[in-house]
């Protein structure tokens, strides 16, 4: 647009010059000065000469004004060109790091497709972690400052062809003509990015993962190479923080399988294909069933189940854990209404949900809607849930307890500060993790730990549940130690409907468990 306007002005200016030249030639050719003098003398009484002079002055003023307007418009055109350059720069660069963005990358790849500039190059996908912690502590201003430093550190390693993509991701290209050890280069990137970052008297540590792919060894399509490096990055993230991985074809198969798994999960959630199985909780003094724990189940084909240890983390990662929890909780409440009034329901809550202040009102609302009394529900949480946001967890647990709902601390003894949790939070029950029950008969240290937990719970007035009871001698010893409640295959397997029975002395000593059953029983139920 500006260049077109400039050309138009030049044409107009040239036209004015041509008109002036034509008038001048006519004046010379026809000796117009004498003719005008005679004409002005003849009609002096009409002041024609003064009118002519006024017209000439006006014309000169208009001409000068035109020149001034042309000069002004030229300056405006220059400003507009600069503004358009600025807008174009902003649209193709990340404002915080000043690095080219996705739009610039798309244009770059289009140019590369024509001239093949990047033969023998490697693509590095880089993702920065732990920015959420910094946001929570100091806000987005410091986050942006750290982004700038990260961009500078990456640019120092890769002087050219560094791009800031969506979220916390960067992309860089490196010439591989000298057959650089790309894995060592990736570790150098991680080491550089994870170095402490000082800002306003504080020192921050971030984490990074790196995935890389080679062009044209891994693919002769640069866009495909970038996808492959992102795939390697995904696998590096799954392996843990500060990991580096190079692309191999098997990764793509794994990523495709993950994508299909996510798709199947979404379909199953939409069609409400998830169900609940119930495992009995038995009072070890009376040998009677006092409650059932709800266990999430996903039957993908007749008799074939996907373990909760796979689909629960997936639901959390996809942000669908609230919807899944509500579906299963409603099913469990509906089943509980068919039980005797003294039988309770034990339901597990994801650590992510416990930090949501809307959890307690949601649970209470569903129970009111379905007519389930609050004293029939026991919510199980793990110690890890209390570390994510202690204040939010404390708020949620208080709301639940105030409503009359009981709280159980699951997997007790496997966390980092179990005893401190007993001081900071109020619980109605402790559940001894299966890993202790498996070996406490033959392992002196484990035996002492189990005895200590039971004794500690008794002194605090808190009940104890032993998980994973599979042998009769485990059961008898736990009874002798004063354990309150037992749970395990010896006392009852999970079933689609609650099965009530009383434990007797004739109970079978061993239950041969298939591998899939063990996986289901040992994985987090929900």
Supply the residues annotated as catalytic. 467
* Alpha helices, DSSP H, located in 409-465: 418-424, 434-439, 444-460
Contacts for 511 with CB less than 8 Å, ≥ 6 apart: 470, 489, 490, 493
Contact (CB, 8 A) for 235 and 249: no
Distance CA 368, CA 273 (A): 25
Contact (CB, 8 A) for 326 and 361: no
Q: State phi, psi for 322 to the nearest 5 degrees.
A: -60, -45
Nearest 10 degrees: CA dihedral of 430, 434, 439, 440?
10
DSSP one-letter code for 175: E
Token pair of 212 as six digits: 């890389």
Nearest to 101 by CA among 159, 176, 167, 154: 167
Distance CA 57, CA 47 (A): 16
What is the SS3 assignment for 280? strand
Token pair of 235 as six digits: 């696998």
Distance CA 333, CA 312 (A): 20
> 106-114: long-range contacts (C-beta < 8 A, 24 or more apart)?
108/161, 108/163, 109/222, 109/223, 112/222, 113/222
Quickly tell me which residue has 């739009």 as its tokens. 103
Token pair of 74 as six digits: 């030229």
Token pair of 214 as six digits: 């080679």
Nearest 5°: the CA angle 511, 514, 520 is 100
Nearest 10 degrees: CA dihedral of 197, 198, 200, 203?
80
What is the SS3 assignment for 446? helix
**53, HSE (Cβ side, Cα atoms, 13 Å):** 6
Phi and psi based region of residue 498 (left: phi greater than 0; alpha: psi -120 to 50; beta: remaining):
beta
Contacts for 13 with CB less than 8 Å, ≥ 6 apart: 70
Q: What is the largest CA-CA distance in the chain?
A: 144
Contacts for 207 with CB less than 8 Å, ≥ 6 apart: 128, 129, 130, 194, 241, 242
Antiparallel, parallel or unpaired: β 406-412 and 429-432: parallel
What is the SS3 assignment for 349? coil
- Tally of CB atoms within 10 A around 473: 9
């Amino acid at each position: 647009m500006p260049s077109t306007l400039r050309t138009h002005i030049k044409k107009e200016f040239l036209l004015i010059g041509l008109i002036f030249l034509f008038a001048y030639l006519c004046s010379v050719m026809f000796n117009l000065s004498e003719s005008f003098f005679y004409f002005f003398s003849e009609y002096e009484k009409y002041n024609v000469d003064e009118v002519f002079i006024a017209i000439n002055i006006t014309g000169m003023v208009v001409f000068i004004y035109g020149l001034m307007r042309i000069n002004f418009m030229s300056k405006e055109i220059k400003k507009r060109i600069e503004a358009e350059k600025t807008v174009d720069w902003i649209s193709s660069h990340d404002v915080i790091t000043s690095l080219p963005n996705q739009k610039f990358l798309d244009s770059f790849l289009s140019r590369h497709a024509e001239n093949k500039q990047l033969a023998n190059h490697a693509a590095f996908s880089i993702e920065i972690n732990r920015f959420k912690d910094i946001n929570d502590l100091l806000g987005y201003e410091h986050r942006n400052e750290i982004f700038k430093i990260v961009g500078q550190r990456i640019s120092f390693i890769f002087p050219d062809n560094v791009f800031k993509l969506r979220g916390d991701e960067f992309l860089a290209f490196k010439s591989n003509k000298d057959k650089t050890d790309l894995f060592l280069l990736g570790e150098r990137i991680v080491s550089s990015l994870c170095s402490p970052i000082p800002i306003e008297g504080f020192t921050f540590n971030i984490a990074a993962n790196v995935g890389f792919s080679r062009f044209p060894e891994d693919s002769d399509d640069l866009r495909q190479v970038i996808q492959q490096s992102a795939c390697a990055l995904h696998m590096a993230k799954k392996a843990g923080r500060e990991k580096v991985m190079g692309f191999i074809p098997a990764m793509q198969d794994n990523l495709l399988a993950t994508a299909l798994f996510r798709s199947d999960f979404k379909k199953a959630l939409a069609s409400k294909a998830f169900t609940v199985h119930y495992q009995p909780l038995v009072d070890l003094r009376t040998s009677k069933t006092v409650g059932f724990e709800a266990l999430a189940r996903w039957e993908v084909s007749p008799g074939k189940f996907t373990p909760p240890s796979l689909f629960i983390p997936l639901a959390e990662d996809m942000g669908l854990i609230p919807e899944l929890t509500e579906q299963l909780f409603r099913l469990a409440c509906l089943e509980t209404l068919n039980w005797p009034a003294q039988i309770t329901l034990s339901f597990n809550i994801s650590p992510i949900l416990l930090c949501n202040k809307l959890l307690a009102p949601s649970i209470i609302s569903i129970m009111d809607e379905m007519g389930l009394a609050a004293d029939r529900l026991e919510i199980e949480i793990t110690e890890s849930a209390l570390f994510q946001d202690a204040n939010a967890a404390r708020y949620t647990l208080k709301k639940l307890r105030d409503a009359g709902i009981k709280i159980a601390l699951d997997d007790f003894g496997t966390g980092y500060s179990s005893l401190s949790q007993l001081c900071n939070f109020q619980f109605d029950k402790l559940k001894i993790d299966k890993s202790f029950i498996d070996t406490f008969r033959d392992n002196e240290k484990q035996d002492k730990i189990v005895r200590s937990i039971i004794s500690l719970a008794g002194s605090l007035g808190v009940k104890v549940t032993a998980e994973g009871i599979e042998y009769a001698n485990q059961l008898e010893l736990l009874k002798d130690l004063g354990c309150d409640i037992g749970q395990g295959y010896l006392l009852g397997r999970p079933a689609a409907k609650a099965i009530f029975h009383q434990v007797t002395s004739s109970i079978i000593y061993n239950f041969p468990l298939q591998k899939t059953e063990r996986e289901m029983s040992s994985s987090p139920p929900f």
